[in-house]
Chain A
């Protein structure tokens, strides 16, 4: 009979493997996205190694695209970093939501928090306010691998691909998020919250810097403070 410690380790491994499996389609999509990132970064004047290093250490798609677009348009490093920070600001509420599910000292929790990417965070969400951290780590692992592979292919082969918008690659991001969203809509309540989040973001797009509309939409979730009239 396994000891409680052994069976906990077994559960962690099972969660990790389930996370890996669940993330495979998202990892494949991430590979396409990072390929277009590699091409875009080279077009913006990035050396091949800079594009690859950026994917390795920043590992946040929309922030990378935003920073490169600003440099390509002649912007300063400060402006590019600020745009990346705004795009990543959604990881603040995501991290606050995840935090209670992470054990260990602050430094260890900070390290675990680095594994948050949109798809992993959404899928590791158990739906009761807690997260399965091993599922999170498992689902981020293949996404990291394809993010690096795609960036490398795009950065090295970009010249032969040319303008990636010809291939409709810019439709991939919204479709990726939409697939995650559809999986999250479980009842009328979540559908209403999604609609409200969309309205908040849409109403701010023209007047606020990129990134802020998404951050502001997270405030819609405060609706959850209301006492539930009935079980969801």
Chain B
């Protein structure tokens, strides 16, 4: 088991390094046409929205709505409606999730 763990760590290190290096090595220092910059500008909202739904509305590879989904909704409400910061909204999300699990 221990060898499997270290092998996994080594493998994850190599693939993560390669994935993060790929774009910078390939694209470094180039001037891109405006239309390509237009694509880059839109990547953050597309990727972040996908990360939100795949972590809040799924459990692994299945759609799943649970206490954590409600917690995130509560945290989002606090973030948007008040001037609370990221840390506060995260704590609200965790506390609401934990509270709902306690009641369940």
Contact = CB atoms under 8 A, between A and B. Distances in A.
Contacts of B51: 90, 118, 174, 177, 181, 201, 214
A106 B35 CA distance: 25
A54 B88 CA distance: 28
B64 to A, nearest CB: 9
Contacts of A29: 86-87, 90
A61 to B, nearest CB: 10
Interface string A185-200: 1000111011111101
Contacts of A223: 39, 42
A129 B32 contact: yes
Interface stretch (A11-19, A42-50, A150-158): A42-50
Contact of B90 (A122, A179, A184): A179
Q: Which of B35, B55, B85, B87 counts the most A-chain CB atoms under 10 A from its CB?
A: B55
Q: How large is the interface on B (under 10, 10 to 19, 20 to 34, 35 or more residues)?
A: 35 or more
Contact of A99 (B28, B43, B80, B101): B28
A217 B47 contact: yes
Contacts of B24: 95, 98-99, 102, 106, 109-110, 112-113
Contact of A71 (B8, B26, B34, B37): B8
A145 interface: no
A182 B22 contact: no
B79 to A, nearest CB: 6
A100 to B, nearest CB: 5
Nearest to B34: A129
A115 to B, nearest CB: 8
B16 A60 contact: yes
Given A80-B12, A113-B25, A174-B72, 13 more contacts: A32-B94, A76-B4, A77-B7, A100-B29, A109-B29, A168-B94, A175-B89, A182-B79, A191-B45, A201-B49, A205-B53, A205-B63, A213-B54
A103 B7 contact: no
A81 B6 CA distance: 11
Q: Which of B6, B19, B37 counts the most A-chain CB atoms under 10 A from its CB?
A: B19
Contact of A180 (B4, B8, B48, B102): B48
Contacts of A78: 11
Nearest to A122: B44
Main secondary structure of the interface of B (DSSP, over half): helix
Q: Which of B13, B32, B86 counts the most A-chain CB atoms under 10 A from its CB?
A: B86
A113 B21 contact: yes
Contacts of A89: 19
Contacts of B11: 77-78, 80-81, 84
B21 A95 contact: yes
A3 interface: no
A222 B79 contact: no
A219 B43 CA distance: 8
A218 to B, nearest CB: 5
Contacts of A171: 56, 67-68, 71-72, 75, 90, 93-94, 96-97
